[in-house]
Amino acid sequence: MSNGTHAAPARVLVVEDEPEMQVILRDNLEFEGHEALEAASGEAAVELAFRERPDLVLLDLMLPRMSGYEVCRQLRDGGLLMPIIMITARNGEADRILGLELGADDYVGKPFSVREVMTRVRVHLRRRGGEAERELDQFSFGEITVDLRRHQVRRRSRSVVLSGREFELLRYFVRHKDELVSREQLLRDVWGYTNMPLTRTVDNFVAKLRRKIERDPQNPRHILTLYGVGYRFIP
CA angle, 119 then 120 then 122, to 5° = 65
Hey, what domains does the chain have and what are their CATH numbers? 11-133 (3.40.50.2300), 135-233 (1.10.10.10)
Neighbours of 150 (CB within 10 A): 10
Element containing residue 126 per DSSP (H, E): helix 114-134
Write out pLDDT tens, residues 144-196. Answer: 998 877 778 999 889 998 888 888 899 889 888 888 989 888 888 887 776 66
Collapsing DSSP states into helix, strand and coil, what is residue 154?
strand
Q: Please check the confidence at residue 90 and state whether its pLDDT lies above 70.
A: no
Instruction: Answer yes or no: are the C-beta atoms of 138 and 146 closer than 8 Å.
Output: yes
Arithmetic mean of pLDDT over the chain: 84
Neighbours of 65 (CB within 10 A): 8
Rounded Cα distance between 183 and 5, Å, is 34
Closest CA to 81 of 164, 5, 150: 164
Instruction: Answer yes or no: are the C-beta atoms of 57 and 50 closer than 8 Å.
Output: no
Q: What is the DSSP letter of 216?
A: S
Write out pLDDT tens, residues 35-67. Answer: 999 999 999 999 999 998 899 999 998 898 899
What is the pLDDT confidence band of residue 3, given thresholds at 50, 70 and 90? very low
pLDDT over 70 percentage in the chain: 86
Burial, 55: exposed, middle or buried (Cβ in 10 Å; 0-12, 13-18, 19+)? buried
Q: Please check the confidence at residue 134 and state whether its pLDDT lies above 50.
A: no
Write out pLDDT tens, residues 76-89. Answer: 888 788 889 988 77
Q: Please check the confidence at residue 135 and state whether its pLDDT lies above 60.
A: no
Burial, 63: exposed, middle or buried (Cβ in 10 Å; 0-12, 13-18, 19+)? buried
Q: According to the model, what pLDDT value does residue 157 have?
A: 83
In this prediction, residues 86-112 reach a mean pLDDT of: 75
Q: According to the model, what pLDDT value does residue 65 have?
A: 87
Element containing residue 225 per DSSP (H, E): strand 223-226
